[in-house]
């Protein structure tokens, strides 16, 4: 190899090593670290079996600084109507999965399966800045995503990620465990030692409701003021976090706890994590847990 060629090769492999092989041969927004992380997360969720067919959706609130290097985002491609109003997010940009799109296909073609939108000044429309290449639209669950972002930002300005998914064991548990917030939280806390530390505020629960509507969006957002995780009865879960890892890790922990429950609920239980032990954990790790769940 000539010296120049070697140098070029080294440069490419260094880049690939730093940001993952997917950036080689790509340009513009397709090289953005936030897109790589978004795609990685949806692919993981698919492989975990949480997001069959077009199930699940993901949204990420973008900061101006993250998109400065991508001039293609300054030319809106088309305007879409939201069907609801989120004045709190006017001017904000989000990367979001597309409606009827499969998490399975995200890695292969992010530009068709996702898109970046900017909420217009009226809060009722959005400009498509990139993606949805086949003329698609953002997820049918956009009301729940945008309203949840607003709710989380009102209590935590650093929140950036909202996810919706159908984790298998958590969903199975919905059919055999009371859908009561305190009872469900207590059971899940009991299933893994770390649970009370990872979600000390517990989990919110909504009864079965029609999905894809502004009503379920408003109900989810109301819960999101108190909880980072909201179970949609007999449907799935919403999770929020400051980073992809945080939102994913939260749902992953809850799904693991639900799996332990589903593996043991029909067996004779001879051991448990007691309430006083959970209190000991919370005190040791310095977390403030939701009151009214552990016996005082």
State the Cα–Cα distance between residues 117 and 129, nearest whole angstrom.
6
Residue 195 CB, nearest approach to ligand 2HA (Å): 25
Nearest to 118 by CA among 135, 130, 109: 130
Pinpoint the alpha helices (H) of 48-141: 64-67, 110-113
- Kindly state whether residue 211 participates in binding ligand 2HA, applying the rule CB under 6 A: yes
The span from the CA of 168 to the CA of 76, in Å, is: 38
How far from chain centre, in Å, is Cα 74?
A: 26
Residue number with CB closer to ligand 2HA (195 or 219): 219
**Please, which residues have CB within 8 angstroms of residue 77's CB and are 6 or more apart in sequence?**
127, 128, 129, 130
Residue 236 Cβ vs ligand 2HA, minimum distance, rounded to whole Å: 6
- Tell whether residue 48 is a contact of ligand 2HA (CB under 6 A): no
Q: Which position among 57, 148, 174, 187 is part of the footprint of ligand 2HA (CB under 6 A)?
A: 57
Indicate which single residue of 204, 236, 239, 241 sits in contact with Zn ion (rule: CB under 5 A): 236
Beginning with the edge strand found earlier in the chain, give each strand of the sheet holding 161-165 in spatial order: 78-81, 125-131, 114-119, 93-97, 57-62, 161-165, 236-241, 229-232, 204-206
Q: How far is the CB of 110 from Zn ion (least distance, A)?
A: 20
- Whether 283 is catalytic is no
Catalytic residue chosen out of the listed positions 37, 141, 181, 252: 141
Per-position x/- string for 125-164, each x denoting binding to ligand 2HA as judged by CB under 6 A, each - no binding:
--------------xxx----------------------x
Chain contacts with ligand 2HA (rule: CB under 6 A): 54-57, 139-141, 164, 211
Instruction: List residues with catalytic annotation.
Output: 141
């Amino acid at each position: 190899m000539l010296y120049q060629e070697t140098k070029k090769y080294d440069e490419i492999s260094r880049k690939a090593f730093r940001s993952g092989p997917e950036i080689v041969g790509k340009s513009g927004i397709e090289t953005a670290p936030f897109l790589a992380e978004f795609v990685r997360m949806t692919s993981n969720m698919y492989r975990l079996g949480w997001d069959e067919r077009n199930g699940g959706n993901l949204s990420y609130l973008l900061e101006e600084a993250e998109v400065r290097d991508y001039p293609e985002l300054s030319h809106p491609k088309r305007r879409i109507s939201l069907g609801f109003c989120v004045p709190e997010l006017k001017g904000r940009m989000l990367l979001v999965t597309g409606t009827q799109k499969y998490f399975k296909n995200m890695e292969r073609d992010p530009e068709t399966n996702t898109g970046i939108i900017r909420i217009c000044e009226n809060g009722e429309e959005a400009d498509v800045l990139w993606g949805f290449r086949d003329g698609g639209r953002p997820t049918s669950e956009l009301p729940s995503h945008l309203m949840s972002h607003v709710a989380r930002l009102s209590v935590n300005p650093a929140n950036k990620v909202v996810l919706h998914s159908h984790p298998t064991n958590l969903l199975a548990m919905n059919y055999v465990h009371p859908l009561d917030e305190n009872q469900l939280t207590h059971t899940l806390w009991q299933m893994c030692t770390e649970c009370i530390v990872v979600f000390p505020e517990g989990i919110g629960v909504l009864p079965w409701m029609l999905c894809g509507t502004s009503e379920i969006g408003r109900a989810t957002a109301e819960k999101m003021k108190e909880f980072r995780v909201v179970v949609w009865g007999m449907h799935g879960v919403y999770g929020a976090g400051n980073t992809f890892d945080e939102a994913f890790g939260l749902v992953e922990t809850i799904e693991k706890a639900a799996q332990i429950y589903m593996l043991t609920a029909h067996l004779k239980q001879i051991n448990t994590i007691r309430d006083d032990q959970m209190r000991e954990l919370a005190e040791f790790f310095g977390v403030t847990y939701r009151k009214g769940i552990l016996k005082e």
